[in-house]
Amino acid sequence: MGTPRQSAARQAGFPIDNGYVVTVIVSGVKPSHTGRVPDLRHASAAAGPRRPPGRPPVPREDIVAAALAIVDDEGLDALSLRALAQRLGSGTATLYRHFEGRSELLAEVADRVLGEVRVDADAVAEGWEDACRELARALFRVLCRHRNAAPLLAQRIPLGPHAMVQRERALALLLERGFSRELAVGAYTTISRHVLGYAMQLGGSIAPDRDREAAEVSAQIDTLDGRRFPATAKVADLMPVPIEAEFEFGLNLLIEGLAVLRDREQTA
C-alpha cells in the first residue's frame, strides 16, 4: 500500500522509487510507461553541453573611460565599438545595451572630457576679464591632456550635462557683467572656438617633437636672404612663436576687443 504520500503520488502519476517521490517534471523527463523512474544520471549530457555563463555587465562609466583611453592612446579614428569591446574584454552586445551607436558614445566621451575642467574660484570671482581668461585656460589645460579629443568638441555642439552647466555659468557671468545677449553669445562661442582651434593644432604631438620642429623652422629662417625678406629677418630671433604663447596672445586680444565692444554698447 505504502504511505499516504506515496498513494497520492501514484494517483497523480508520479513514479515511486525506494520509497521516495521523484518529481521528474522539474527535470523535464517524463515517466516511462512502466511506471519506473528513468535513469537521470545522463539526462543533462543528453540535452547537450552546458552553456557558458554570460559576460559580466560593464558599468556605463567604465565603458566611457575605456573609450576615452582609446582616443588618448590611438586617436579618434581608432575608436570603434569592436575595438572598445576588445579593450573591455566584452562583446559589442554589451555596449549596445548602453549606447545606440558610436555617435552617442562619442557624445558622452566629449562630456566626460568637459567634466574634468576645474577653474580657479578666486580668478572667476574677479572681473569678467579674469574670469574669461581662467575659463579658457582651464579648458585648454584639459584638452592638452586629451589632445586627440578636441575634434569631438568641434564637430558638434556639446549638449551633455557637464557642457550644459559650463555654458550656463559662462553665459550667466557675461550677462551679469553687462553684456548684451548678442555680445554674450558671441563672446562665449568665439573664446570657445579659440581654445578648440589651438588644442586641435596640438593634436597628438608631444613637447619633444614640437621643440625639434621649432628648432628646424628657426634654422631655416636664419638662412633666409635678408635682402629679399627684410621684415622676416628683422624678427627671425622671435620665430617660431610657441603655440602656448600664441594661445595667450590671441586670448588677450579677444578679451580686450570684447571690452571695447561692451563699453561701446553701454555708452550707445
CA distance 108 to 91: 19
Q: Name which of 201, 195, 189 is nearest 240 in CA terms.
A: 201
- Confidence bin at 31 (pLDDT 50/70/90): very low
Q: Give, rounded to a whole angstrom, the gap between the first and last alpha carbons of the chain.
A: 110
Is the pLDDT assigned to residue 76 strictly greater than 50? yes
| Residue range 213-239, pLDDT digits in tens | 888 988 898 888 999 999 999 999 999
Task: Domain 121-161+172-267: give its CATH architecture.
Answer: Orthogonal Bundle (1.10)
pLDDT one-digit tens code per residue, 148-193:
999 999 988 999 999 999 999 999 999 999 999 999 999 999 999 9
For 25-68, give the DSSP string. Answer: TTTTPPPPTTSSPP--TTHHHHT-PPPPPPPPP--HHHHHHHHH
The CATH class given to the 60-114 domain equals mainly alpha
- CB distance 146 to 198 below 8 Å: no
Where exactly are the structural domains of the chain? 4-40, 60-114, 121-161+172-267
